[in-house]
Amino acid sequence: MTELSGVLKPSAAKRLLYFINHTDAKRSTLLLGPPGIGKSILVREVAEETARAAGLTFLEYRRQNLRTADLEEIFAHPDRYFVFVDLRLTETEPVDLLGRPATISIRERRQLVYHPPQWAVLLAEVPGILFLDELTNVQRPDVLAAAYKLIQDRAAGFVGFGPGVHVIAAGNRPEDSVLANPLPAPLLNRVYQITVEPPRIEQWMRWMNTNHPGGHNHVFAYLQRFPQDFCRVPAEGETLESYPTPRSYTSLARDLPAAIEAGLDRPALRALCIAALGREVGQKFFTFLEYNVPAYETFIKNPAVFAALDVDQRYIGVVVVGQGLAATVTAASGGVAGDDIMEARAALRPHVTNCIPLLDVMAGQSREYLTLLWYLIASRLSHPWNDALFLEMCAQSEPVMQAYAAIGELLG
C-alpha cells in the first residue's frame, strides 16, 4: 500500500478482492485508478482463481459462444460452474442491464413484464462475478441508474443475483481522467472503494513473463531505461493521440515480434510503435529499437565492449546477452534428463564460467542491467534450468550475488 494514501498496489488489490469474494456478504466493490493499468485483467484473474480454487468450471459469458445445449447443462448443474460477466457500461443500453419489456395476457388481462438479460438469469443461479467497467465514464443518466441498481440491489430488474455473486465496478478518478464523473454519496456508502495504482515495471514484466512469454524484449529494455514513460495518461480527456500505459505496452510487446517476423518495413514498424504509444514516446521507442550493438559472442570474448557502449546501447546490449545466454542454456539442457538441479548446475558450470567476466562488468556498471537480464532469461527457461543458472551465477561471482541479493524483492 502506498504510504498513508490508501492506494493499493495491484497485487494487494487482487488479494483484497479475492478476500471479499469469499465473504458471505460479498459487498459490491468499486475499483478506481488511471486508465490502462490492468483493472479489468485484475478482476478477471480473481474470477479465474476463485473458480480454480473451488474446483468449478470457469465460464466467461459471451453471448455468441453459448448454445442451447450449453445453457441446459449449466442450468442443470449450476454448482459446477463459475460465471464471469464483463460489461462495458459505455457501450450498453438500459435494456442490456435491466431486461426488455414484453406484453403478456393472463385471463384476458394484458400485462407488461420484463424478460431479464441472459447473463442475469445465469447469475441468479450460478456463482460468479459481474464486472461493470467504465462506471465513472458513463454520460447517460438512464444507463447510470440501471448500473446503480445492479451495484446496490444486486439485481437486474426483478431478477436477484445468487448469494455466490460478487458485483465489481471499475472507473477513473477525476485526477485520472477529465471524463470521470463523481458518483452519488449513497452509492459510495454501499460499496467497498479500492483505489489501485499502476503496477511497477518489474511487476508488469513478471506478469508478462507468465501470461505472454516471448514478448518483445526491447520493450522490457526500454522501460528499464525510461521508467517515466510507463504510464503517461494525458491531461486532456479527449484526444486523437495514443498514449503509453501498461495496457499499450502489453499490446506492443505481444505484437512487435510478429510484425518483425512478418517482414514489416521500417516505416510500418515505426507506425506500429506510434500507434501503440503515441507520437512522442512511440518515436522515442522506435529510435531505441534501432540501436545496433555487438553480437553475444563479441561481449563474451571482450567484456570491456559492454562498458564502452553508451547508456541506451547498454540496455539493448543486455537484450543481446540475455538472448545469447538463454540459447546457451537451452543447448546445454539437451544432455540432461529430469529435473535434478545439481546435474543441471554441473552441465551449466563451464558456460557460466565463460560469461562471468561479462556479468561482473555489467554488475559494476549498474544493478539494473542484471535485473533486466534475469527477466529476459527467466521468460525463456523452465525448471530446473532457471534455478540452476541463477545459483551457479551467484556461486561463481561475488558481484553478481551481491547485486541479485540487493534486488531480490524485485526478482521474486
Q: Which sequence spans correspond to the domains of the chain? A: 7-196, 201-411
3-class DSSP assignment, residue 168:
strand
pLDDT tens track, the chain, 412 positions: 444 457 999 999 999 999 999 998 899 999 999 999 999 999 999 999 999 999 999 999 986 567 776 889 999 999 999 999 999 999 999 999 988 877 878 887 888 777 899 999 999 999 999 999 999 999 999 999 999 999 999 999 889 999 999 999 999 998 888 788 999 999 999 999 999 999 999 889 888 988 888 778 899 999 999 999 999 988 666 567 899 999 999 999 999 999 999 999 999 999 999 999 999 999 999 999 999 899 999 999 999 999 999 999 999 999 999 999 999 998 988 766 677 889 999 999 999 999 999 999 999 999 889 988 988 887 788 888 988 999 999 999 998 998 888 765 544 4
pLDDT of residue 214: 73
pLDDT of residue 63: 65
Cβ(384)–Cβ(341) under 8 Å? Answer: yes
Q: Is-contact 37 196, C-beta < 8 A?
A: yes
Scanning the structure block, which residue is given the C-alpha cell 554488475? 363
DSSP tag of 294: -
Residue partners of 364: CB distance under 8 A and separation at least 6: 307, 399
Helix axes 311-332, 279-289, angle to 10 degrees: 60
Model pTM score = 0.81
Q: Which CATH class is domain 7-196?
A: alpha beta
What is the predicted pLDDT for the residue at 238? 59
Q: How far apart are CA 377 and CA 326, in angstroms?
A: 6
Residue 213 Cα to chain centre, angstroms: 13
Tell me how many degrees the CA angle 82-57-75 measures, rounded to the nearest 5.
65
Query: Which residues pair with residue 110 across a beta bridge?
Result: 105
What is the CA 54 to chain-centroid distance, rounded? 23
Residues 6+ apart with CB under 8 A from 382: none
* 375 within 8 A of 223, measured Cβ to Cβ: no
Instruction: Show the cell assigned to 93.
Output: 443500453
Based on the number of CB atoms within 10 Å of its own CB, is 338 exposed (0-12), middle (13-18) or buried (19 or more)? exposed
Would you call 240 exposed, middle or buried from its count of C-beta atoms within 10 A (0-12, 13-18, 19+)? exposed
The predicted pLDDT at position 3 comes to: 44
Q: Is 327 helix (H, G, I), strand (E, B) or coil?
A: helix
> Grid coordinates standing for 132?
461493470
